[in-house]
Amino acid sequence: MDPQTYMDVATVVTKLKMYPYFDIAHYTLMCIAVREDVLPQQGSSTPSVPFSRKHPLSSWLSSMLICFAGSIIANMLLGEPLITPFKDHQSILTATAVWYLVNYSPFDLVYKLAKFLPVKLAICVLKETQRAHKVYHGVLVAAKLYPSSYLVIIMVGTLKGAGSGLMKNFDRLIRGIWIPGNNEILQPSFATKASLVASIVFLCERLNLIAVPHPLIYFGIVLFFVYFKISSVVLGIHDPFVPLENLFCAIFCGGMWDALRRAASKEPTKEEENKDPRNDVIKSKDEKKKD
């Protein structure tokens, strides 16, 4: 692609309107996530009656909270009314229609269609584009409210992009599920980490630390999101940040000192060898991904 075409495409992507197609893709993925997030013992075999049949209200509210999780949590942190997303009838009605189709369509057609690989890939591409849009606007909003609070700006940007993860514990509670040992901060997903990186990039752009035209940065972030999402769906590479994290942990989060301490103690017993923290970090992270 010659640079001018690339720049043109980037400018178009920057000005894309999210409603309706990108938002619908987002709502679809969120409603499917809610539908599939059942207790392991319930999910092991197909349950006799799906949750959406037994508890429509809980299923609806839970889906809405996840669809608008980023706004709700960001509003809470910024002291705005939590109910703001429910003011916008158009979004709520669209999300409700998507929720209805995902859960109650005849012969489960919409759900099966959305799980069909080519369709799923298209939805994911739309959703990741919307994620970039949300991160960027989160950074804009926070930077307007707190211009010099970089940490706040990054946190709001990340939340807008990946709020559904943080909302998950509370959202499960609405559906009567409670898994305290599992949350987004304990085991951050790739979406959260990528949103964090994107927030930092957008913040650097605002601070004029990156001398690249805005459409290029924005389009780069979109491509970054889309690329890793597709590789996750198609190739099963869930988290390309893991090696970097392990390196970071080994250097800064005690790995080096633990190794030094082991070296200092004269006779490392067998047990201590088994307790090599760095291996454990890598192992435990890998195990989590597989679960």
Residues that bind a copy of itself (CB under 8 A): 48-50, 52-58, 61, 75-83, 86-87, 89, 92, 103-107, 146, 149-152, 155-156, 169, 173-178, 180-183, 185-188, 249, 252-255, 257-258, 260-261, 264, 274-275, 277, 280-281, 284
Q: Which is nearer to a copy of itself, 121 or 259 (CB)?
A: 259
Minimum Å gap between C-beta 185 and a copy of itself is 5
Minimum Å gap between C-beta 19 and a copy of itself is 18
SS3 (DSSP) at 253? coil
- CA–CA distance, 110 with 102 (Å, rounded to integer): 6
| Nearest by Cα to 222 from 245, 242, 202 | 202
Q: Which is nearer to a copy of itself, 56 or 220 (CB)?
A: 56
- CA–CA distance, 218 with 135 (Å, rounded to integer): 10
CA 234 vs CA 165, 221, 226, 291: distances in Å: 22, 20, 12, 18
Asked if 8 contacts 14 with a C-beta cutoff of 8 angstroms, the reply is no
Minimum Å gap between C-beta 130 and a copy of itself is 23
Minimum Å gap between C-beta 66 and a copy of itself is 14
Q: Which is nearer to a copy of itself, 235 or 264 (CB)?
A: 264
Q: Which is nearer to a copy of itself, 72 or 123 (CB)?
A: 72
Both structure tokens of 39: 């207790």
Listed in sequence order, the residues at least 6 apart from 257 whose beta carbon sits closer than 8 Å to its beta carbon are none
Minimum Å gap between C-beta 118 and a copy of itself is 25
- CA–CA distance, 175 with 152 (Å, rounded to integer): 31
Q: Which is nearer to a copy of itself, 207 or 234 (CB)?
A: 207
- CA–CA distance, 260 with 266 (Å, rounded to integer): 11
Q: Which is nearer to a copy of itself, 57 or 117 (CB)?
A: 57
Minimum Å gap between C-beta 271 and a copy of itself is 9
